[in-house]
Amino acid sequence: MLKRLLLYSTSIHFRRSLLSLNNSITTPHPLILTSTSTSPYSPPPLISRRRIHSLRLLAMAEGTLKPSQAHKHTNRLAKEHSPYLLQHAHNPVDWYPWGEEAFEKARRKDMPIFLSIGYSTCHWCHVMEVESFEDEEVAKLLNDWFVSIKVDREERPDVDKVYMTYVQALYGGGGWPLSVFLSPDLKPLMGGTYFPPEDKYGRPGFKTIIRKVKDAWETKREMLVKGGAYAIEQLAEALSKSVTLNTPTDGLSQHALHLCAEQLAGSYDPEFGGFGSSPKFPRPVEIQLMFYHSKKLEEAGKSSEANRSLKMVLFSLQCMARGGIHDHIGGGFHRYSVDECWHVPHFEKMLYDQGQIANVYLDAFSITKDTFYSSVARDILDYLRRDMIGEEGEIYSAEDADSAEFEGAPRKKEGAFYIWTSQEVEDIVGEHANLFMDHYYIKLSGNCDLSRMSDPHNEFKGENVLIERNDTSAMASKHNMSKDEYLDVLGACKRKLFDFRSKRPRPHLDDKVIVSWNGLAISAFARASQILRGEAEMTKFNFPVLGCNPKEYLEVGEKAASFIRRHLYDEQAHRLQHSFRNGPSRAPGFLDDYAFLISGLLDLYQFGGGINWLSWAIELQDTQDELFLDREGGGYFNTPGEDPSVLLRVKEDHDGAEPSGNSASMINLIRLASMAATSKSDQYKQTAQHLLAVFESKLKDTAIAVPLMCCAADMFSVLSMKQVVLVGRKPSTEFDDMIASVHSTYDPSRIVIHIDSSNQEEMQFWEGYNENIALVAKNRTSPEKVVALVCQKFTCSSPITDPELLKTLLK
């Protein structure tokens, strides 16, 4: 197991650094000039491997250790709020949080820094903690020779970005835990990801690396320091690209959209769906692009090509939903699948996945009207409502992959909460056990045998990860049932397993509230509130889907947004803080926080929420431009640039597990421009145009790295999105019916504006922001009906008052 791990570990790159030290190679840094397109949010091959099954994985925070063991050591992290830092508060390593106290000690004692970055639900972070950071010998080496700093990458993505970019650029890969050695002035000296404690298979262990770095610091310091400074200098130049001409090349948007779709189609897996091979990640931006591209082809009269693109993504979504990456018992999706067939996952659940994946299933339902897709969207959102939302509506960050197999277990095991033996299923399910096991491919010997990548070391021998391998209608016929009756039986069985599973030790919950990830989830809840009204009446749902009124989802989104405004927004300075746990974090809001929250707020408004959400989105956009916009060079930096300890300001250009802040901002600007008066609209368009010019080379050459930006570029080329203006009394049944009609079809290039002329707050807002809208409201108000106008650049169709007629027009 360990040998396989090391084969994929970036410690091999670290060995090259050590060899360069031993051989006195003085210029290893031309590699820095090779910019990597790998996102730090796309785990490297290392993290896609299975766990070390025999490790004793201890409790991640509090609870399973005996008191005499738990507090043998206590370091400064005990005073922090981050769950990840608290997990390391009782290591023998003398950890410091990121901050001046640690930096001052390193400068005063002229000691190098060991920086370890991870997050609380990171499996390999737990492994390295148990193997190295809880080891007294390793701790003594670190305490004697280094200032050791722990960083939660979710709490400080700005710090993580600097050193992850360094490791990726220099070595070609990265991941967590991230392990980097720094000079006292925070320049990187060398780095890697996970390291085992001892030398094995000709590769250095962590203890060897510590000694080598210490020796190099004493004997080759000048070379190391110069190399680190040079690396940062080159990265700063490469990652803060700017252009003086703010007009992109003609035809760029169409070229980029087509190129990205072509590149994705070339990597499509026709057997199991998805793009690429194992490990498989549900990268929603890819699905978004293919949906968008299919619609553009359909509009251009290329129906057969449009259908080919559509079939790829719909089949991929079906395979994902039926695979083990989907939690069939409790809802939601795991991080990724280690095999090509979406079967055996890495079991952590991340909020940023749930929000985005729910949205692409909502899109699929909008296009097909197939409740298979709407049920999956509900499944995700209901999981969030049940397990991931706090008392004030805040949405938590993640659930861990690892958990104890039983109360008081001395170690944790990946997937323990989610996997089943056939005997367990028989005992719990009872009468319909054979049917259930047939449906979910449950076997006495275990079912992790569909791919050589699923479980190559038999770590899940005798265990089963639920997967649907056959068509539900065919299975119902096999068992002599109607499809509805069959689904009812499956739902009842899942409920029994859910109740039993609820008694198992739960995976660790990271209850940190991150603004950007909440923004992604807010968008999904808002959109679901109207899109799901397109489900046929009397649609049946089965556990774990609750089948609630879609309106409830809007309320969930609004509560989450309200929490952020109360706890993480300074009303006077108009600035966000990045995260919250037992109070706001010290980290400021970053570009992603503003961009993703603005997107969520625009969706809250456009899917029926109040004007206050639109007003706040505009306010946040102004602050975003003030803090992050490169007015001369174009595009947005990822940080405000106010913290001298963060050595790089990056213009992110990769849509990975999360979209880049620049891609999301581009779409926000286009949406806002389509609602604003001429002068403000022109300002938004100019900013978007300049941003597009900055990333022109990326769009031309490696469009597959930025699928969402490709969509944004095409939207921008249209210059003005289609506007649907609804005028009428709110709340009312008539308004609800009309706004549901607007959102009954898939059209990402549509803007919805709704206004009640009897509402003074709304009228005052539009009189100040775009008097054309206020004028339309005054002239088109009907005392008994809601009037819809379909407009382009505020040139509008004849008024429509029939919801069905509006649906037809929008199609």
DSSP 189: E
- Tell me what the mean pLDDT of segment 576-591 comes to: 97
pLDDT in the model for residue 41 = 32
3-state secondary structure of 23: coil
Residue 150 CA, chain-centre distance (Å), reads 22
What are the DSSP calls for 612-652, one per residue?
A: HHHHHHHHHHHHHHHHHB-TTT-SB-SS-S--TT-------
Confidence of residue 251 (pLDDT cuts 50, 70, 90): confident
Kindly report, residue by residue over 160-218, the tens digit of the pLDDT: 999 999 999 888 888 999 999 999 999 999 999 999 999 987 788 999 999 999 999 99
With beta carbons less than 8 A apart as the criterion, state whether 688 and 624 touch.
Answer: no
- Of 488, 503, 518, the position where a domain reaches its end is 503
- 709 and 624 within one domain: yes
Q: Are 292 and 306 in contact (CB under 8 A)?
A: no
Element (H, E) at 254: helix 252-266
pLDDT in the model for residue 241? 78
Mean pLDDT computed over every residue of the chain: 90
pLDDT at 200: 84
| Whether 486 and 600 share a structural domain | no
- Tell me the average pLDDT across 241-269: 89
Say how many CA atoms lie within 13 Å of 123 toward its Cβ: 24
Q: Does residue 149 sit in the same domain as residue 93? A: yes
DSSP for 306-325, written as a single string = HHHHHHHHHHHHHHHHHSTT
> How far apart, in Å, are the Cα atoms of 121 and each of 83, 118, 127?
9, 9, 11
Categorize the per-residue pLDDT at 59 as very low, low, confident or very high, splitting at 50, 70 and 90. very low
- Asked if the structure places residue 187 within a domain, the reply is yes
pLDDT value at residue 719? 62
626 and 494 housed in the same domain: no
pLDDT at residue 11 in the model: 40
Diameter of the chain measured on Cα atoms: 84
Q: Which of 576, 620, 692 is nearest to 241 (CA)?
A: 692
pLDDT at 784: 84
User: pLDDT-based confidence at 51, cuts 50/70/90?
Assistant: very low
* 245 within a domain of the structure (yes/no): no
Residue at which a domain ends, from 475, 503, 531: 503
Q: 């609602």: which residue's tokens?
A: 675
564, 703: one domain: yes
Q: Which amino acid is at 369?
A: K
pLDDT band at 24 (very low <50, low <70, confident <90, very high): very low
Sign of CA dihedral 269, 273, 276, 280: negative
Reported confidence tier of residue 71, pLDDT bands at 50, 70, 90:
confident
**Cα atoms found within 13 Å of the Cα of residue 227, Cβ hemisphere only:** 27
Looking at the structure, do residues 644 and 622 belong to the same domain, yes or no?
Answer: yes
Structural domain range at position 135? 77-240
Nearest CA among 461, 463, 485, 462 for reference residue 475? 485
Q: What are 377-408's pLDDT values in tens digits?
A: 999 999 999 999 999 999 999 999 999 999 98
Check if the beta carbon of residue 327 is closer than 8 Å to that of residue 383: yes
**In this structure, is residue 528 part of a structural domain?**
yes
Task: Please report the pLDDT score of residue 70 as a whole number.
Answer: 55
**Global confidence as pTM:** 0.91
Q: What is the CATH number of the domain that holds 619?
A: 1.50.10.10
Question: Given strand 398-399, what is the order of strands in its sheet?
Answer: 349-350, 398-399, 509-510
pLDDT at 20: 45
What pLDDT does residue 780 have?
86
In angstroms, the Cα distances linking 651 to 154, 516, 639, 640, 656 are: 18, 17, 9, 12, 14
pLDDT digits 0-9 by tens, 310-361: 999 999 999 999 999 999 999 999 999 999 999 999 999 999 999 999 999 9
**Angstrom distances, CA of residue 572 to CA of 23, 761, 764:** 57, 21, 21
On whether residue 16 sits in a domain, the answer given is no
Domain count across the chain: 4
For 98-121, what is each residue's pLDDT tens digit? 999 999 999 999 999 999 999 999
**% of the chain surpassing 90 pLDDT:** 83
Helices (H) and strands (E) in the chain, counts: 31, 20
CA distances from 540 to 13, 273, 372, 535, 550 (A): 54, 27, 11, 10, 14
Is 48 contained in some domain? no
State phi, psi for 413 to the nearest 5 degrees.
-130, 135
- Tell me what pLDDT residue 239 has: 82
Residues 379 and 516 in one domain: yes
Residues 202 and 290 in one domain: no
Q: Are residues 708 and 791 in the same domain?
A: no
* Nearest to 673, CA basis, from 663, 681, 665: 681
CA 752/CA 520 separation, integer angstroms: 19
- 459 plus 596 within the same structural domain: no
pLDDT given for residue 572 in this prediction: 97
For the segment 721-759, what is each residue's pLDDT rounded down to a tens digit?
889 999 999 999 999 999 999 999 999 999 999 999 999
Q: Between 538 and 171, name the one with better pLDDT.
A: 538
Do 376 and 509 belong to one domain? yes
Is residue 581 pLDDT above 90, yes or no? yes
| Cβ atoms 694, 633 nearer than 8 A | yes
Per-residue pLDDT of 544-580, as tens digits, reads: 999 999 999 999 999 999 999 999 999 999 999 999 9
Residues 499-530: tens digit of each pLDDT = 999 999 999 999 999 999 999 999 999 999 99
Are both 573 and 695 inside the same structural domain? yes
| 160 HSE (CA, 13 A, CB side) | 22
Terminal C-alpha separation, the chain: 55
Rounded Cα distance, 706 and 662, in Å: 10
Which region holds residue 56: left if phi is over 0, alpha if psi is between -120 and 50, else beta?
beta
Which tens digits make up the pLDDT trace of 770-809? 999 999 899 888 888 999 999 877 678 899 999 999 999 8
How far apart CA 390 and CA 518 sit, in angstroms, is 12
Q: How many CB atoms lie within 10 A of CB 791?
A: 20
Residue 65 in any domain: the answer is no
Per-residue pLDDT reduced to its tens digit, 411-436: 899 999 999 999 999 999 999 999 99
Model confidence at 69: pLDDT above 90 = no
pLDDT of 38 over the 80 cut: no
